[in-house]
Amino acid sequence: MIARGIDGCRGGWIAVSIDAADRRDFAIFSAIAEVLVLGAATTMIDIPIGLPERGYRGCDREARRLLKGAASRVFLGLRRPLLGCLSDYPAANAWGKKTDGKGLAKQAFNILPKIAEVDAVITPALQERFRESHPELVFARMNGGTPLASKHEAEGLRQRHDLLMRHGFAALDAWLARLRGTGAKPDDLYDACVLALAARDAMAGDAQRIGAGEARDAKGLRMEIWY
């Protein structure tokens, strides 16, 4: 039984795995389809799954509430029709504003290709083991409910490193050395690590979920976030 955490990185996806014997490793893949064929009891991925036609997802609003002062780390306004505007930010932003008065942050627009890649392969059946998560929520849960400092700051990176070391990632420094030249950044690795922990917790029945019972999208995908 394997728990896996996946985060997007430059050029692909970084996946961290934890097996039943607590052996841990990571690998980088160019396409999400390569990860799907590996098989895992539970996989957590930092990418929105389940997209509304309009408006904001309830799970995103709740995630922002839980993150308090770090609410902006959860993107709002990702809607299914925007998948048709992958290379034109002004058009995507204008569509959002015209359709329901909700524009799109540039950072959210930048992950649309990753969202489209996952959306092309995800199904309601696959969603039973391949679930949306958010590393900021998992880190906050593991930190007693308090969000960590920004991952774009040295203090935030240190906090993530130290927390992961305390939760069994003894080889983390060696893994960071292996990242060199791959295009993946330390915070990509940290996010994948904490999502693997969330996947392991879910397998044990200890993970939490927001958005349970929320209406499904046009593909029948649940709009929810595990952490």
Q: Of all residues in the chain, what percent carry a pLDDT higher than 70?
A: 100
Q: Residue 25 in contact with residue 111, Cβ under 8 Å?
A: no
Asked if pLDDT for residue 39 goes beyond 90, the answer is no
CA distance 158 to 24: 21
Segment 174-203, tens digit of pLDDT: 999 999 999 999 999 999 999 999 999 999
| Reported confidence tier of residue 15, pLDDT bands at 50, 70, 90 | very high
Contacts of residue 55, Cβ cutoff 8 Å, sequence gap at least 6? 79, 100, 102
| Reported confidence tier of residue 1, pLDDT bands at 50, 70, 90 | confident
CA distance 123 to 21: 30
Asked if pLDDT for residue 40 goes beyond 80, the answer is no
Contacts of residue 50, Cβ cutoff 8 Å, sequence gap at least 6? 57, 132, 216, 217, 219, 221, 222, 223, 224
Count of beta carbons in the 10 Å neighbourhood of residue 11: 12
Buried-exposed string 49-65: b where 16+ CB fall within 10 A, e elsewhere = bbbbeeebbbbbebbbe
Q: Residue 79 in contact with residue 54, Cβ under 8 Å?
A: yes
Q: Residue 6 in contact with residue 44, Cβ under 8 Å?
A: yes
Q: What is the average pLDDT score of the chain?
A: 95
Structure confidence at residue 213 (pLDDT) = 76
Segment 19-37, tens digit of pLDDT: 999 999 999 999 999 998 8
Structure confidence at residue 59 (pLDDT) = 96
Structure confidence at residue 41 (pLDDT) = 84
- Across-strand partners of 17? 4, 25
Structure confidence at residue 185 (pLDDT) = 97
Q: Residue 44 in contact with residue 193, Cβ under 8 Å?
A: no
Half-sphere exposure of 174 (CA within 13 A, CB side): 6
Mean pLDDT value across residues 79-92: 94
CATH 3.30.420 spans which residues of the chain?
Answer: 3-48+126-203
> Residues in the chain, how many?
227
| Residue whose tokens read 């306004």 | 77
Fold classification of 3-48+126-203 (topology level):
Nucleotidyltransferase; domain 5 (3.30.420)
Asked if pLDDT for residue 9 goes beyond 90, the answer is yes
Structure confidence at residue 38 (pLDDT) = 87
Report field, pTM of the whole predicted structure over 0.85:
yes
Q: Of all residues in the chain, what percent carry a pLDDT higher than 90?
A: 92
Mean pLDDT value across residues 88-107: 93
Measure CA 119 to chain center.
Answer: 14
Mean pLDDT value across residues 125-135: 96
